Chains A and B, each alone.
Chain A
Amino acid sequence: GQQLNQSPQSMFIQEGEDVSMNCTSSSIFNTWLWYKQEPGEGPVLLIALYKAGELTSNGRLTAQFGITRKDSFLNISASIPSDVGIYFCAGRRGGQFYFGTGTSLTVIP
């Protein structure tokens, strides 16, 4: 299926730094979801966004549903080593979900 444009593809950061990643699409979505996947595991839902402009936090994570409904971003503040993994965005339109290509995050202690 269709994939969303997610950037950056990978990030190498120092522990304590903030992280920002985003997803864009040429089509609008009704819901934006952000997942984290660790090696050998399935993706785990981090944040779900339901309305344009919505800003939602989950601990050190903050995500926003773009006002145009065509994009979303995820911020991680004060990164720690356990934040390592691949982060995926997903957009829902009707009954279909479309996934981003993933952002691989490496946190250097």
Chain B
Amino acid sequence: GAVVSQHPSRVICKSGTSVKIECRSLDFQATTMFWYRQFPKQSLMLMATSNEGSKATYEQGVEKDKFLINHASLTLSTLTVTSAHPEDSSFYICSARDYGDEQFFGPGTRLTVL
């Protein structure tokens, strides 16, 4: 149990376009979903925390108008990178928390902006 999927796994886009990444909890309801960004050989950097039906809470330094998060249901959260630029290229990972104390991660999305 406790499977989290992410789609797409890889995306390459042109500078200036927007990219949407989906995160789904497949076999449990996620009260909270988290979005992380990870640079090569570095730890996870929390971008934002989203609760179903409410606005996401963004970490300091993360532009909420740049990284739009929608947590439409207890099993789906989306991250949209708007007007992407090469510096937005990174590995984006979502995670989901159920009613317990554990956090389960998706497989990640590799974004490359040309």
Q: Which residues of A contact B (CB under 8 A)?
A: 1, 3, 30-31, 33, 35, 40-45, 48, 50, 88, 90, 92, 95, 97, 99-102, 104
Total number of A-B contacts with CB less than 8 angstroms? 53
Question: At the interface, is chain B mostly helix, strand, loop or mixed?
Answer: strand
Instruction: Check if A44 sits within 8 Å of B41, measured CB to CB.
Output: no
Encoded as 1 (CB less than 8 Å from any A CB) or 0, chain B from 63 to 100 comes to: 00000000000000000000000000001010101000
Instruction: Check if A41 sits within 8 Å of B44, measured CB to CB.
Output: no
Contacts of A48 in B (CB 8 A): 101-102
Contacts of B6 in A (CB 8 A): 42
A42 and B105 alpha carbons, distance in the complex (Å): 6
Instruction: Check if B46 sits within 8 Å of A43, measured CB to CB.
Output: no
Q: Which residues of B contact A (CB under 8 A)?
A: 2, 4, 6, 32, 34, 41-44, 46, 49, 59, 91, 93, 95, 97, 101-108, 110
Instruction: Check if B101 sits within 8 Å of A99, measured CB to CB.
Output: no
A100 and B42 alpha carbons, distance in the complex (Å): 10
A95 and B34 alpha carbons, distance in the complex (Å): 11
Contacts of B104 in A (CB 8 A): 45
